[in-house]
Every structure is written in structure tokens, then in C-alpha cells.
Homo-oligomer: A and B are copies of this chain.
Amino acid sequence: MDNIRLSSCDIQTMEKRQKVQLINSLPGFKSANLIGTTDKDGNENLAIVSSVIHLGSSPALLGFILRPDTVERHTYTNIQQTEQYTINAVSEEFYQRAHQTSARYPKEVSEFNETGLTPFYDNHFDAPFVLESPIKIGLRLVEIIPIRSNGTHMIIGEIERVILPKYALRKDGYINIESLDLMTLSGLDNYHVTQSVGRLSYAKPEKPIVPLDIDGNTFFIKE
């Protein structure tokens, strides 16, 4: 296998769009989620992000990165104003419409209207969910962390509600996201469906890993 080695100098001197593609490809597969917000007057905004990560379960916290100097500035301002937002998983059914939300629309334009996605309001929660999304998460802003190294921000929210199809939630708490046709993203623009090769048991020293079924059970019970 013929390898290529890129130094920091090689990377710094790459053509800008090439560099953006390269560095965006390096983390590996990413989640695809739509962030739903409104400004203080109720004007809706919807933006695709690929940086949502798990931060902790108690309290239940998710984080994601925003670049306030780009198309994401409306999302950033809205979250600052209202302190509420939604995270909506992108599935195969509407991933092209989700990708379209990354276009640079003026502030007064709703990405819901432009892409044909449907805003959905759940009881007593002000931010819009995406009706088409199989996993809808409502969050309350907890912390905005400025990242000095490059002027981006990490938005941290606590999960206030989750709406998802009953059949996808397994007994042990795992959500079978593959059964919901969730997409994964690589680089800036490549979308993929997935095929599970199986769950694995909790790793312990001196104990071999065993495969688990989708409910987290071992296949064979030893006496």
C-alpha cells in the first residue's frame, strides 16, 4: 500500500478548498443533524451540523461546534437569545434537503420553507423540531464555550425531551439508529448509509470481547 506523508508545511501551503476538504475528512465518519431555532420574534432557522457529540449522561449533555462568522451565525444568535434549540437526526429520506440548509440564506428566510422540511412544535417547547426527523431532541442551553485557538464556539445543552419511534429504543437503552436509516457524513459532502457488523461486549482486562445482539445480550448462555 503506497503511503503519502503530509507535513504541517504541506498542509499549510495547500490550496484553500483542498485543505478544507482534507481536514474535514480526517476525523472519520460524522453524525448529520439539523439544529432548529427561532429568533426572539419567532422567525425560524434550520442548519445542518456534523459536530454533535456526547458529553455526558448525568446530566444528559450534548455539544456541538458553531462558527459565528459563517452561515451558522443565525443559529448562534438565536440560541443566545432564546436559550432553546432542537437537534434532529438526518435520515436517508431527506438528506438532500438537509444538505440544502447549508446554503447562505438571508436572515429573514426560513430554511424550512426553502427546503420543504416541516417545522413541528411540541407542547411548551419554543424551538421547532423537524417533523421528518426520526430522532427529535429538545435542549436547553447550558454553556457557550469560546474556543480561543480559532474563534469557534462549543454550544452545550441539556436534553429536555426526546421523541423517537418506540421500536428503535431497545431494552438496554440503546437506540437502533441504523433501523431509522440515519445517515453518516464524511468530509464536507459525502453521505453514507450503514451496515452493522455487530455490538461488542463491555471490554475488561484478560477477558475476550464477545459479540452481542441488538439488545445487548450475548448469543449463547454458558452454564
| A interface, CB within 8 angstroms of B | 1-8, 11-12, 14-33, 50-63, 65, 67, 87, 89-90, 92, 95-96, 99-105, 109, 114, 122, 135, 137, 142-143, 145, 147-150, 152, 154, 156, 158-167, 169-170, 172-175, 177-178, 182-184, 186-205, 207, 209, 212, 214, 216
Contact = CB atoms under 8 A, between A and B. Distances in A.
B18 A203 contact: no
- State the copy count for this chain: 2
Given A27-B62, A143-B147, 16 more contacts: A4-B164, A6-B162, A8-B159, A22-B162, A26-B162, A27-B87, A28-B31, A28-B32, A30-B53, A59-B149, A100-B209, A143-B149, A145-B145, A189-B212, A192-B195, A192-B197
A64 to B, nearest CB: 8
Given A21-B173, A56-B150, A184 B28 contact: yes
B152 A56 contact: yes
A211 to B, nearest CB: 9
In this complex, the member of A6, A23, A172, A209 whose beta carbon has the largest number of chain B beta carbons within 10 angstroms is A23
A24 B57 contact: yes
Given A31-B28, A142-B149, A11 B162 contact: yes
A21 B216 contact: yes
B23 A28 contact: no
